[in-house]
Amino acid sequence: MSEDWQTKYGPRRVRRDPPTLEEAIFAAVGITDDLEQQAEIASALMGLPYEDVLTEVKKTARTSVRSATRVITGDQGAQRAVVVERRVVRRFGNDKRTGT
């Protein structure tokens, strides 16, 4: 699955690899939340049978449920967002000014 073409520096080649099953499932998860539709999308990307991909999608869904995100809650249980910003301070080499 490669294309060759000639340049003034010699032949060039681009390698085109199909996605792995994990990459196809990751892409399908980003598109929809339904497991069956995820399996259809991933099987279409990979060219694999739907049933084989569905089992892998279900395995991936089980492991992702275990790793829940953490939410910061206040005293009364209300959720709040925490924003961390980084300020860049520019310091110049001639900060010490002498003279008049």
Query: What residue ranges do the domains of the chain occupy?
Result: 21-89
**Distance of alpha carbon 76 from alpha carbon 30, whole angstroms:** 33
Contact 49, 42 (CB under 8 A): no
* Bridge partners, 53 (sequence order): none
Nearest one of 31, 56, 28 to 44, comparing CA atoms = 28
Output the pTM of the full model.
0.52
**Closest by CA position to 52, among listed 24, 18, 17:** 24
| 3 state SS of 34 | coil
CA distance 68 to 91: 42
pLDDT in tens, the chain (100 residues): 457 889 999 999 888 777 889 999 989 988 988 999 999 999 998 889 999 999 999 998 887 655 444 555 666 666 666 666 666 666 666 656 565 5
